[in-house]
Amino acid sequence: MLRQCLGAQRRGFGNAAAGWATFLDLPPRSITMISDLTRKEITEVLATAADLKANPAKYANVMDRKTLIMLFQKPSLRTRVSFEVGMNQMGGSAINYPIDAGAPLGKKETIADTGKVLSRYCDAIMARLNDRKEIWELGEAASVPVINGLDDFAHPCQMLADMQTILEQRGTLEGLKMAFLGDIVNNVTYDLMRSACIMGFHINVSGPAGERYEVEQEVIDECNALASIPGAGSFYITHDPREAIAGADVVYCDSWMSYGIPDNELKIRKQTFMPYQVNDELMELTAPDSFFMNCLPAARGMEQTASVIDGPKSVVFDQAENRLHAQKALLVKLVK
C-alpha cells in the first residue's frame, strides 16, 4: 500500500521500530505521523525545541532564503500562525495556499504533480488535509520534506508540542500515565497512542462503545507492534472513564465536533460523549500533581468544564505556544 511504500522510501526500513541514521544522512523526509520519527529522533527534536525556546536568537538565520509552502484544506489558527511566524523568526518565509473550490487538490492536476511542482519552488511543504491518502501521496511524490499539519489519521506537530509541554512540567516522559477521554476516533488520539508506545509512557484511551466510536484496527495493530519493542510504552482502551483517569499524571481531551463533522450531529454527539467530559469530579481521581491538556480549540461545557480548562492544572496555552517551538525544531532538522 502507499503508506508502506512511503515509509520504505523515506526511511530505508520496512519496520517503524527499526534503527535509523541521523537526519542529515537521509534523503528528504516526510513526517506524516509521529511514528515516522524514532524515539531518538523525537528526543533530538524536543531538545532542539527547548533550545530554540530558550535561545531564539541563536536560530535567527537558519532558514535564510528558505521557503515553506503551507497547503490548507482545513481551517487553522495555531498551525497557520505558528509555522508562518516560525519561518519568519528563523529568517525564512512561508506561503499560505488555501485548498478550496477555486484551487482544489487533485482535481485539475494530480496530487503527485502538485508535489513535484512545489518541490521545484520551495524547500519544504506543510499540508493540513482532510484525507490521509492525500498527504501520503504528496509525500511520495515530493522531493522536499513534507510535514503533516493534520489529517484524519495523525497530528505529529501537535505531538511534538505536547511532549515538549510534558517535559517542561515533569522533566521526563518515561513512566508517565496519560488518560485521553472522549472521541477516540481521532487523529490526536491515534498519534498519542503511537507517542506513548514509542517514548515509553502509558496511555489509557476511553470513549463510548459502538462501531463508529472504536479506534481503527490499523492503529491498534501498529501500536501493538511499537509496544513490542524493549523499553516501549503501552496503551489500554476502555469504555470506563473512571478506570481510564484513575491515577493519571496527564489528562487529555479534544473536541467532540472536529472539523468535518456536520452541525446537525451536535445533539447526539453531546449526549453520547457527556459521560466522558473532563470535570472536577473526574480530575479528583488523578495523581496529586496531574495536569490537563487540550490541543484546542476547546468548547467549555463540552469535552471539559470551564473549571478544568481555566483552572490551575491546565497547561493548554503552554501547549499552544509550544507548537511554535516544536515546529521550528522540526524544520531545523528536516530542511537542508
Q: Which residues are annotated as catalytic?
A: 128, 155, 158, 254, 295, 323
| Strands (E) located in the chain | 30-31, 67-72, 93-98, 124-128, 146-150, 177-181, 202-206, 234-238, 250-253, 291-294
Q: Are 254 and 303 in contact (CB under 8 A)?
A: yes
Helix, strand, or coil here: 149?
strand
Q: Are 138 and 32 in contact (CB under 8 A)?
A: no
Q: Which amino acid is at 132?
A: R
Q: Could you tell me which residues are beta bridge partners of residue 25?
A: none
Q: Please report which helix (H) or strand (E) contains residue 322, including its range.
A: helix 316-334
> For the residues of 216-247, what is the DSSP string, one character each?
PHHHHHHHHHHHTSTT--EEEEES-HHHHHTT
Question: What gap in Å lies between CA 180 and CA 186, rounded to an integer?
Answer: 11
* Grid cell of 234 as nine digits: 503501552
Residue 104 DSSP one-character state: -
Helix, strand, or coil here: 146?
strand
Terminal alpha carbon distance of the chain: 29
